Amino acid sequence: MALSKKEVARYLKFAGATARKAGEILFKKSRGKNEILFKGRVNLVTAADLASEKFIVNSIERAFPGHSRLAEEVSSRDTGSKFNWIIDPLDGTTNYAHRFPFYCVSIALEYKGCIILGVIFDPERNELFAASENNGAFLNGKRIRVTSQTKLSRSLLATGFPYDIGTSSDDNIDNYARFAKSCRGIRRAGSAALDLAYVACGRFDGFWELKLSPWDTAAGILLVKEAGGKVTDFQGKRFQIRNRYIVASNGRIHRQMLQILNS
């Protein structure tokens, strides 16, 4: 049984309000001392990550106590529910730890295996990106669309590099080099969720990355699709949130991007 538009709207309102409040926690903590822990050589977690996640999880527990959740840090739980909240309490942790103001909160809701809504909140710019299935994508309440660019050579792209770049040969550097010779420019800003949001609102024409996790992409892929864009894996097949290799674009340059990735 499908959810009604009213039900989806209620969940979306909750997700947006929760992301905003979690973002306020991050913003406030960014102005003070923030404890940094290490999950790996370049993979960090901060006290702010954990505080944001705790707030989001507690909010979900109060509002929807039977729902499952998948979270980046410590709070995943499978209840067997048809509803699964996918949470990144701080995407762009390395940026945040270095006081580089490009980070966000990402929350998506999966229902019966399909992402039905997603929100991404950037507290530094007070920008809330939101989308629900078959209802469009919005930035602070205004509808957004992907770009109309048709030429890769005139496109601005975004990407990132995996945390194991120092030890793995599958490091995205070869892809970066090929794209750098084929497009107008590439930005590596350090938040996959925001990169996807920027594709959705037309600031980027395309994005690709590898070795991502569901919480990195769940909200962003819905934003891109609802803004008129396209999201696949590197082979051009339908992207699932548990895939780790993603290509997102305005749709018009998608085939050209796939050609680069598979050359």
**One domain for residues 171 and 226:** yes
d(CA 249, CA 258): 10
Domain that holds residue 61: 5-143
Q: How many domains does the chain have?
A: 2
pLDDT(153) > 60? yes
Q: What are phi and psi of 98, to 5 degrees?
A: -100, 10
Model confidence band, residue 44 (pLDDT cutoffs 50, 70, 90): low
pLDDT(48) > 60? yes
d(CA 230, CA 226): 9
Two tokens at 237?
């097949």
**One domain for residues 126 and 157:** no
**pLDDT score for 39:** 54
**One domain for residues 128 and 156:** no
**One domain for residues 21 and 98:** yes
pTM, entire model: 0.95
pLDDT(37) > 70? no
Q: What is the mean pLDDT of residues 84-94?
A: 95
**One domain for residues 95 and 180:** no
Q: What average pLDDT does the chain have?
A: 93
**One domain for residues 122 and 195:** no
pLDDT(3) > 50? yes
- Give the end of a domain, one of 91, 121, 143: 143
Note the maximum CA span of the chain. 51
**One domain for residues 69 and 122:** yes
Model confidence band, residue 42 (pLDDT cutoffs 50, 70, 90): very low
**pLDDT score for 47:** 84
- Give the end of a domain, one of 143, 164, 195: 143
**One domain for residues 103 and 181:** no
Provide the CATH number for the domain around residue 187.
3.40.190.80
**One domain for residues 135 and 185:** no
Pairing label, strands 185-187, 156-159: parallel
pLDDT digits (tens, 9 = 90+) for 109-150: 999 999 999 999 999 999 999 999 999 999 999 999 999 999
User: Facing residues of 88 across strands?
Assistant: 106
Could you tell me if 157 and 33 are in contact, meaning their C-beta atoms sit under 8 angstroms apart? no
pLDDT digits (tens, 9 = 90+) for 59-75: 999 999 999 999 876 77
| Phi-psi region at 228: left, alpha or beta (left = phi > 0; alpha = psi -120 to 50) | left
Q: What is the mean pLDDT of residues 215-242?
A: 97
**One domain for residues 13 and 36:** yes
Is pLDDT larger for residue 248 or for residue 167? 248
**pLDDT score for 259:** 98
- Residue 123 identity: P
Model confidence band, residue 218 (pLDDT cutoffs 50, 70, 90): very high
**One domain for residues 55 and 103:** yes
Provide the CATH number for the domain around residue 65.
3.30.540.10
**One domain for residues 137 and 158:** no
pLDDT(36) > 80? no
DSSP string covering 47-87: HHHHHHHHHHHHHHHHH-TT-EEEESSS--B--S-SEEEEE
**pLDDT score for 200:** 99
Lowest mean pLDDT among 30-34, 180-184, 247-251: 30-34
- Give the end of a domain, one of 100, 119, 143: 143
